[in-house]
Amino acid sequence: MDMDAEDTGAPADGSPVPGLDRRERDVLALERRGFSGPGAKERAIREELGLSPVRYYQLLNALLDDTRALAHDPVTVNRLRRVRDSRRSER
């Protein structure tokens, strides 16, 4: 079976990211996208990933603390960490 970087979870430079599974990569990929209207992201979560939004955000929050996710997509993970930290400080 022929696998490209998307299927293996390897970053664009070709280096391996051990242990990051397909669902985790898909969660990060969904976070990179922009959504046009209310409910569009939640609909995509359900239709594309087969997850409830609550479960999705649980997985996403765990990924933000995972060094494998940071190695796979540092721009997205660091952006989301900043958003999370800013929301925590507002409380």
At 43-81, the pLDDT tens digits run: 999 999 999 999 999 999 999 999 999 999 999 999 999
C-alpha span between 13 and 84 (Å, rounded): 28
The string of DSSP letters for 42-61 reads HHHIIIII---HHHHHHHHH
**CA 16 to each of CA 34, 53, 68, 71, 72: distance values in angstroms, whole numbers, following the listed order:** 27, 29, 10, 9, 9
When the pLDDT of each residue in the chain is averaged and rounded to a whole number, the result is: 85
**Model pTM?**
0.75
pLDDT value at residue 34: 85
Domains of the chain by residue range: 17-90
